[in-house]
Structure 1
Amino acid sequence: MRTLIVAALFAIASPLTLAAANCPAHPKAEWLKPDDAKKQIEAQGYKIRTFKTSGNCYEIYGHDKAGKKAEVYFDAKTLAIVKQEIGD
């Protein structure tokens, strides 16, 4: 019974936790270079702990200018915020 309950919870939670940002697809040649993107994101006040490419997005883990934990997905061409989760 316990296994069934745990499986049901994962089935409900998985789509929510795995929902990725839906960044527009731009040709890679139009993307900002990662180093330039990092500099511009930091200029917006973010402290980047981890920077990576996620699908068509640049994704950071770190802190926002208020010092709160932040997971933010940016359009790789324009750096427009596509999705963000701000915590404590």
Structure 2
Amino acid sequence: MKPVLLALAIGYAVMGSALAGERCAVPLKDWQPRESLQRKLESEGWKVRSIRSGDGCYQAHAIDADGQSVEVYFDPRTFDLVAKSD
């Protein structure tokens, strides 16, 4: 990968994490189970590789319904999409 493209990719990943951290200020007691997020995504045609907690959000690594490999952040209370890094 060319250095410029690598720098851009790293920048987008960091920016996605920063955006997620700003938007996911949900108390732990209000989080839905990660298994519920996995079921939701799979019902929408996603292939979930992993879901973990990161920056106050759920961070999922998956293949979306369009076949794209994605890293996405979801609000743990509502499962709304907060940030996406391709």
TM-score (normalizing by structure 1): 0.72
Query: Deviation string for 1:34-82 (max 9, x for gaps)?
Result: 1112111222222111211112110111111011111110001000000
Q: After TM superposition, which residue ranges in structure 1, 4 or more long, deviate above 4 angstroms?
A: none
2:81 and 2:53 map into 1 onto residues whose CA distance is 14
The equivalent of 2:24 in structure 1 is 24
Query: Larger relative contact order (C-alpha < 8 A, sep ≥ 6)?
Result: 2
Q: 1:65 maps to what in 2?
A: 65
Q: Separation in 1 of the partners of 2:53 and 2:42?
A: 16
**Secondary structure at the residue paired with 1:67?**
coil
RMSD, aligned α-carbons: 2.3
Name the TM-score, length of structure 2 as normaliser: 0.73
> Match of 1:3?
none
Structure 1 runs not aligned, ≥5 long: 1-5
State the shift of 1:18 in Å. 2.2
Query: Matched residues in 2 for 1:29 and 1:71: separation?
Result: 25
Percentage of matched positions with identical amino acids: 25
How many equivalent residue pairs?
Answer: 77
- Larger helix percent: 2
- Larger gyration radius, structure 1 or structure 2: 1
- Distance across 2 between alignment mates of 1:23 and 1:40: 20
